[in-house]
A and B are shown apart, each in its own frame.
Chain A
Amino acid sequence: MALPGERFHVLAQLEHLQSKYTGTGHADMNRHEWVVNQHRDTRAFQMSHPGMNTYIAVVENESRARTRFNLINRMIQPCGPPPEKHPLDDA
């Protein structure tokens, strides 16, 4: 059984591990960042699964390559510009 110090360590390691990946969040995240991640996750998912890609291509009436390209492009600022930083948001 490990010492308490190590336990802190394990949790700290977990946090470090999590922070290495994009898409993870933290307690001080705002809504915009979170939703941007969701959008990007969604589009990455749709574009990388051939079935989903075909489905969206059919709906949008585009070629699959074009759909893919569009989806990638939509990952740039998917939700528009980030909101102005509100003075009260700092806390």
Chain B
Amino acid sequence: MSRSGEAYAQELNRKRAAAQRAAADEDNDENQGNGNKVAFGAAGNFDTDVYGSVRGESRDGYLDSIGTGEEDDVDEDSMPTVQKKATNYSQPHKFIEEVAAASEDTDPFADTRTKTIAERQSKYHERAMRRQISPDRADAFVDQTPDNRNRGYAEVMRDQRYHEEKGRVERELADRAKAGELHVTREPEKKKGRWDATEAPESSENLGAASATPSQGSAPRKRLGFASLSAEAATPRAARWDETPAHSTGAADATPSVDKWSSTPAAQTPRRNRWDETPKADLNDGSMTPGWGMETPARGASDDVKIEDTPSASKRRSRWDLTPSQTPNVAAATPLHAGAQTPSFTPSHPSQTPIGAMTPGGATPIGTAAMGMKTPAPHMIPMTPEQMQIYRWEKEIDDRNRPLTDEELESLFPPGYKVLVPPMNYIPLRTPSRKLMATPTPMGGAGAGGFYMPGTPDRDGVGEKGVGGLVDTQPKNAELPPLKPDDMQYFDKLLMDVDESSLSREEKNEREIMEHLLKIKNGTPPMRKSGLRKITENARKYGAGPLFNQILPLLMSPSLEDQERHLMVKVIDRILYKLDDLVRPYVHKILVVIEPLLIDEDYYARVEGREIISNLAKAAGLATMISTMRPDIDNVDEYVRNTTARAFAVVASALGIPALLPFLKAVCKSKKSWQARHTGIKIVQQMAILMGCAVLPHLKALVEIVKDGLDDEQQKVRTITALCLAALAEASAPYGIEAFDSVLKPLWKGIRMHRGKGLAAFLKAIGYLIPLMDAEYASYYTREVMLILIREFASPDEEMKKIVLKVVKQCCATDGVEPSYIRDEVLPSFFKAFWNQRMAMDRRNYRQLVDTTVEIAQKVGCVEMIARIVDDLKDENEQYRKMVMETIENIVALQGATDIDARLEEQLIDGLLYAFQEQTQEDSVMLDGFGTICSSLGRRAKAYIPQICGTILWRLNNKSAKVRQQAADLIARIAPVMHMCEEEKMMGHMGVVLYEYLGEEYPEVLGSILGALKAICNVIGMTKMTPPIKDLLPRLTPILKNRHEKVQENCIDLVGAIADRGSEFVSAREWMRICFELLELLKAHKKSIRRAAINTFGFIAKAIGPHDVLATLLNNLKVQERQLRVCTTVAIAIVSETCAPFTVLPAIMNEYRVPEINVQNGVLKALSFMFEYIGEMAKDYIYAVVPLLIDALMERDQVHRQIAVDAVAHLAIGVYGFGCEDALIHLLNYVWPNMLENSPHLIQRWVFACEGMRVSLGPIKVMQYCLQALWHPARKVREPVWKVFNNLILGSADALIAGYPRIENTPTNQYVRYELDYVL
């Protein structure tokens, strides 16, 4: 469908282009006859009969298009497009762009799809994917012979150094290559020779050779060439590494290097590794330990996507992904597809292809063999998600476009059609290869069998069979959820039917873990729960290795979504608790996966990441954490260092700062590499950010550790040190200036010495230090730093701007700064540099500028500031106007409008009106500003009210709904001010106008109008309201039916206000009508609406007496919906509270006799709420309701008793101190037996009731009840009673002392409390 749509669009485009061309030609010809036709989408031109003469005479003298004068404006391209549209009608770019976009391959639903994490991440975040999950490390704490595959600290550090040096050599080589000193020489023959010796097939030889030297075919590609070059260069060095086992060399990849290519083994490790290993390890990309089966394909896949355009790479991949027997078949059979994906799926659906001949690899190994096989069985060769997506899409299109069957045709055509015999000379295509070429379906999903035309029972369910119906995504265990296409590579083993008994223990465990994970990842919530529980329970049984080997690759998957990541992280969290110190060898693996969460843009991901790392630190211990993370501290990759620093900060917060101090000291003083110092200081910074004021006890030590960084020779280290000090100062504010004594001087020297980024950091540090100082120092330092700040006002650097603004704010906030100083020295350049449209464009700049300006205004007074910016309220840029408005609003809100003189006041109102009328964006800044400023002007606004009201009235009549809505909202804001100005008449007029607009169609606008009416009603009172209430209310009744939440909320509020204060203006009949409408509102989703409706019941009942309202409500108890009944009971309770219980109780107690469980429950619940609301008034009614309650407490139905117990609890608390013990004991006797119930709801209510009894009967009485059961032989009896007894102890331990029973001494123990026997 979309394909044909596309074709259509393309055709349209073609036509349009042709039309444009034609139009242009015609224009050139000055063909008068057709000149007035303008093609759609083409630029229009002027009527020649109007302008013709002018054009003819002096064409040069006139412009035929008028510029908007904004071309020169630097801000133009960042202006909102709305404005552009208004000035530029001749070129509907939008349409052209739309069509252009539609002609490309775009997914129209791209916006609605949930984005995977990988998709929304920035380039920087993507670097996480380049890290590899490092192999296990040795656990130094376990007394065992180290597994030689496990690397210890020493090996890791050696690797680290090796990579550092390699990086250095590579850089040097690159430099030299650039300088032209170096010439690459290659020896392809030699390599070929090696190949000939090992493997035979000629076709693969070519492929192999091409892939072994990735750069061969692409000499102009600088990057590739560079990679291969470095590999060559590294070879001699690598000889040393050949001696170490292959795995640990491969493991060197744990440290990613900057270049993508160098992370592939070809470039980095000696070739021997890749080719000499068994194919199974090779499939795993050669860089992994064997256990890491499935993760590399994913990464390999993503790499593949990136480098699709390099032929050598994709070839290499295809070669390795194919099982040899298939290669020729596939290449021949499906000419339309790239090799990699075809073979992987063809064989995998034996059940669906009718003929077995199509599946060359059909004899899939099953069972143990399959489980043990690292080479994926044919149908599990992973596709990248993208490939899968494309493939599925194609498949779906093909499925939809496949020929119609006879039955379908039958059903489509009216009767009377018949099937013609084919002509005698027709020869169908019989050669399968030609057939394949000819069919529109490249894969022949259904029709691949040649003449066979399959029945299509499920034509409309095409997409529901997994991947285009080709692969069965339902695991063999039917209880498991189906796989998503992207899960194939992780969970494919579950698709095979395996005999459980033939599996070894490890395999069985692996399968179990896989099942649990699949349940957690794709299952329904109950499945997820059970999966999570099982995997947690058995964590120690499975062991850390198998668990993490499966979980971590999942987390690195490029197609991961937020929800899935959350679940996987949760799994890790749970099993960490269980595994405890078993986790040690896997710490680094886990960190590689979890660290990226620390810099995720999603807040909750960051929190989760922190939690995991902190638990990890607690499980593994400080020593392991340090030895694991130490090598990453001076990693060459900034990304790794950044995340490591953050992780270290989390470790510090988990294990305590003091534990980490010695380590930090060593790192920050590292002589060897500046990266280590940088990271060390960054750790301190992150600690400050993470832990806030918890750094205070260690502030001195931390500052001492980092302070040398201020004089470091590396600029980056100096910068981070300053930032670190800023963070420490921010965290410890307002304390701890003493700790910073030693850094003040270097900081001060620094701001004079540095420029650019370094200076920005130093300024930031000083900005945060100044608030810590006392006034004297602060004033001195502020004067010093101000000079530099003013100089930097002009800096074009965005970051610098923000920091300067922040520091200015901090300086101005200190006590010691003179207003005159700011006024004379700072303000002129401040306004010149910052108050421009450009600042309003960036949200962070905007915020910072508003804050700083408001802060300065606190110092120099509001007039000074407002006068400077008030004219900008009429600026042409809306965003800028908003910024001005927000600033003025904040200033006025803080300082009031008393200082504002008449002239400024006029300017202000003028600007307000302009800004308000010109607004196009929908937010509350303008409204808030208008409201705040008007109300702080108070009576002084009187002069402007007519003008404002005129504007509002005019705009209430506007065609645009948004304008009307804003006008109504503004009325609501300024109603109190109008009242203050005694503009009652005007308000009355407004009321009438609004009343007339109640027929408004747009619910948003109607809601605002109702809100405005409510505001007017509230300020002028019900009696003076125009239109009179008796007219207004009947008009509101039908509006209550409106389903829009905003309308409902405003309407119910207004009705409630009238019922509360003006009920006498409306007849009882009308109120009853409203009662019925209100019942509907109890269904509302929004709680505030339900609450307002319930309260309104109370008001109405008060106005017209409870009887009718009550009858309505009691009737409503019969409905089915629970929410309605609950709300009704609350309403009954409120009615009885407002009208005194005696007016209501008889009716509801009578209602209890209705033999309907819902009604009886409702009545009881109403009683319960009523006793809760009326409190001690209950003393007058307790004896009346006791029989009813007792009846209810003897009811069979558990829920019924539960509500009754709840009612008793509220009743008991209400009557405390009124001498109703007799009734209460009676009730307690009926409540007490409920302790044996199973329902936790009932038990909870029962505990609550006993608490109530403790309060009003006294604890000893309740304890006497408890004593019967505390030592009961049955645990089921003892347990609930201990709960109550414990509550007694918590609540009234002292009071119980006199009540404990006397327990006789035993021969060994003295149990009698003899002090109690003392008599004087």
Residues on the B chain within 8 Å of A88, using CB = none
Segment at the interface with A among B106-114, B906-914, B976-984, B1295-1303: B1295-1303
Inter-subunit contact A38/B1300 (CB<8 Å): yes
Residues on the B chain within 8 Å of A15, using CB = 1283
Inter-subunit contact A35/B1244 (CB<8 Å): no
22 contacts between A and B (CB under 8 A): A4-B1240, A7-B1241, A10-B1244, A11-B1240, A15-B1283, A21-B1290, A23-B1289, A25-B1270, A25-B1282, A27-B1278, A31-B1303, A32-B1309, A38-B1300, A42-B1297, A42-B1300, A42-B1313, A59-B1320, A79-B1309, A79-B1311, A80-B1309, A80-B1310, A83-B1309
Q: Which residue of A lies closest to B1278 (CB)?
A: A27
Q: Is B102 on the interface with A (CB-CB < 8 A)?
A: no
Inter-subunit contact B1315/A56 (CB<8 Å): yes
8 A Cβ contacts from A1-43 to B = 1, 4, 7-8, 10-11, 14-15, 17-18, 21, 23-27, 29, 31-32, 34-35, 38-39, 41-43
Cβ distance B453 to chain A, nearest Cβ, rounded Å: 54
The 3 closest A-B pairs by CB, nearest first: A18-B1286, A27-B1278, A24-B1286
Residues on the B chain within 8 Å of A81, using CB = 1308-1309
CB < 8 Å: which of A4, A18, A42, A79 contacts B1241?
A4
Most central of A17, A25, A79 by chain B CB within 10 Å: A79
Q: Is B1285 on the interface with A (CB-CB < 8 A)?
A: yes
Which residues of chain A have a CB within 8 Å of any CB of chain B? 1, 4, 7-8, 10-11, 14-15, 17-18, 21, 23-27, 29, 31-32, 34-35, 38-39, 41-43, 45-46, 55-56, 58-60, 71, 78-81, 83
Q: How far is the CA of A83 from the CA of B1311 in the complex (A)?
A: 12
CB < 8 Å: which of A21, A27, A35, A71 contacts B1289?
A21
Inter-subunit contact A45/B1289 (CB<8 Å): no
Residues on the B chain within 8 Å of A39, using CB = 1313
Cβ distance B1199 to chain A, nearest Cβ, rounded Å: 12
Q: Is B363 on the interface with A (CB-CB < 8 A)?
A: no
Inter-subunit contact A35/B1308 (CB<8 Å): no
Which residues of chain B have a CB within 8 Å of any CB of chain A? 1126, 1240-1241, 1243-1244, 1247, 1270-1271, 1275, 1278-1279, 1282-1283, 1285-1287, 1289-1290, 1293-1294, 1296-1297, 1300, 1303, 1306, 1308-1311, 1313, 1315-1316, 1318-1320
Supposing A11-B1244, A31-B1303, A45-B1297 touch, asked if A24 and B1316 sit within 8 A by C-beta, the answer is no
Inter-subunit contact B1282/A26 (CB<8 Å): yes
Residues on the A chain within 8 Å of B1282, using CB = 25-27, 29
Q: Which residue of A lies closest to B1272 (CB)?
A: A27
Residues on the A chain within 8 Å of B1290, using CB = 17-18, 21, 24
Cβ distance A51 to chain B, nearest Cβ, rounded Å: 12
Inter-subunit contact A7/B1279 (CB<8 Å): no
Q: How far is the CA of A40 from the CA of B889 in the complex (A)?
A: 63
Residues on the A chain within 8 Å of B1319, using CB = 59
Q: How far is the CA of A80 from the CA of B1287 in the complex (A)?
A: 27
Supposing A7-B1244, A46-B1315, A59-B1318 touch, asked if A18 and B1283 sit within 8 A by C-beta, the answer is yes
Inter-subunit contact B1293/A25 (CB<8 Å): no
Q: How far is the CA of A7 from the CA of B1202 in the complex (A)?
A: 14
Q: Which residue of A lies closest to B1280 (CB)?
A: A27
Q: Is the interface of A mostly helix, strand, loop or mixed?
A: helix
Supposing A27-B1278, A27-B1279 touch, asked if A42 and B1285 sit within 8 A by C-beta, the answer is no
Q: How far is the CA of A29 from the CA of B1279 in the complex (A)?
A: 11
Q: How far is the CA of A53 from the CA of B1300 in the complex (A)?
A: 20
Inter-subunit contact B1316/A42 (CB<8 Å): yes
How many residue pairs at the A-B interface have CB separations less than 8 Å?
88
Residues on the A chain within 8 Å of B1243, using CB = 11
Q: How far is the CA of A32 from the CA of B1306 in the complex (A)?
A: 10
Q: Which residue of A lies closest to B1126 (CB)?
A: A1
CB < 8 Å: which of B1247, B1296, B1303 contacts A14?
B1247
Residues on the B chain within 8 Å of A34, using CB = 1270
Residues on the A chain within 8 Å of B1240, using CB = 4, 7-8, 11
CB < 8 Å: which of B1293, B1294, B1318 contacts A56?
B1318
Cβ distance B1250 to chain A, nearest Cβ, rounded Å: 12
CB < 8 Å: which of B1278, B1315, B1320 contacts A58?
B1320
Q: Which residue of A lies closest to B1303 (CB)?
A: A35
Q: Which residue of B lies closest to A79 (CB)?
A: B1309
Q: Which residue of A lies closest to B1288 (CB)?
A: A24
Residues on the B chain within 8 Å of A71, using CB = 1315
Cβ distance A63 to chain B, nearest Cβ, rounded Å: 16
Q: Which residue of A lies closest to B1247 (CB)?
A: A14
Q: Which residue of A lies closest to B1271 (CB)?
A: A31
Q: Which residue of A lies closest to B1300 (CB)?
A: A38
Most central of B1244, B1247, B1293 by chain A CB within 10 Å: B1293
Most central of B1243, B1283, B1315 by chain A CB within 10 Å: B1315
Residues on the A chain within 8 Å of B1241, using CB = 4, 7
Q: How far is the CA of A71 from the CA of B1270 in the complex (A)?
A: 28
Supposing A8-B1240, A27-B1278 touch, asked if A18 and B1316 sit within 8 A by C-beta, the answer is no
Residues on the B chain within 8 Å of A43, using CB = 1315
Cβ distance B524 to chain A, nearest Cβ, rounded Å: 16
Cβ distance A34 to chain B, nearest Cβ, rounded Å: 8
Supposing A27-B1278, A31-B1303, A45-B1297 touch, asked if A18 and B1318 sit within 8 A by C-beta, the answer is no
Residues on the B chain within 8 Å of A45, using CB = 1293-1294, 1297
Q: Which residue of B lies closest to A80 (CB)?
A: B1309
Inter-subunit contact A55/B1320 (CB<8 Å): yes
Cβ distance A32 to chain B, nearest Cβ, rounded Å: 6
Q: How far is the CA of A78 from the CA of B1313 in the complex (A)?
A: 9
Q: Which residue of B lies closest to A6 (CB)?
A: B1240
Inter-subunit contact A38/B1313 (CB<8 Å): yes
Residues on the B chain within 8 Å of A11, using CB = 1240, 1243-1244, 1247, 1283
Q: How far is the CA of A42 from the CA of B1279 in the complex (A)?
A: 25
Q: Which residue of B lies closest to A12 (CB)?
A: B1240
Residues on the B chain within 8 Å of A31, using CB = 1271, 1303, 1311
Q: Which residue of A lies closest to B1279 (CB)?
A: A27
Q: How far is the CA of A26 from the CA of B1279 in the complex (A)?
A: 7
Q: How far is the CA of A51 from the CA of B535 in the complex (A)?
A: 60
Inter-subunit contact A79/B1283 (CB<8 Å): no
Residues on the B chain within 8 Å of A59, using CB = 1318-1320
A11-B1283, A14-B1247 known; 9 other A-B pairs, CB under 8 Å? A11-B1244, A17-B1290, A18-B1286, A18-B1290, A24-B1286, A25-B1285, A26-B1286, A41-B1293, A80-B1308
Residues on the B chain within 8 Å of A32, using CB = 1309
Cβ distance A20 to chain B, nearest Cβ, rounded Å: 10
Residues on the A chain within 8 Å of B1270, using CB = 25, 34
Q: Which residue of A lies closest to B1242 (CB)?
A: A7
Q: How far is the CA of A7 from the CA of B1283 in the complex (A)?
A: 15
Residues on the B chain within 8 Å of A18, using CB = 1283, 1286-1287, 1290
Q: Which residue of B lies closest to A24 (CB)?
A: B1286
Q: How far is the CA of A1 from the CA of B265 in the complex (A)?
A: 59
Q: How far is the CA of A41 from the CA of B1313 in the complex (A)?
A: 11
Q: How far is the CA of A23 from the CA of B1241 in the complex (A)?
A: 27
Q: How far is the CA of A55 from the CA of B177 in the complex (A)?
A: 100
Cβ distance A37 to chain B, nearest Cβ, rounded Å: 8
Supposing A15-B1283, A41-B1296 touch, asked if A79 and B1310 sit within 8 A by C-beta, the answer is yes
Q: How far is the CA of A25 from the CA of B1281 in the complex (A)?
A: 10
Q: How far is the CA of A46 from the CA of B1317 in the complex (A)?
A: 13
Residues on the B chain within 8 Å of A58, using CB = 1320
Residues on the B chain within 8 Å of A80, using CB = 1308-1310
Residues on the A chain within 8 Å of B1318, using CB = 55-56, 59-60
Q: Which residue of B lies closest to A37 (CB)?
A: B1289
Q: How far is the CA of A15 from the CA of B1311 in the complex (A)?
A: 28
CB < 8 Å: which of A1, A8, A25, A83 contacts B1286?
A25
Cβ distance B1168 to chain A, nearest Cβ, rounded Å: 13
Cβ distance A24 to chain B, nearest Cβ, rounded Å: 4
Residues on the B chain within 8 Å of A83, using CB = 1306, 1308-1309
Residues on the B chain within 8 Å of A78, using CB = 1310
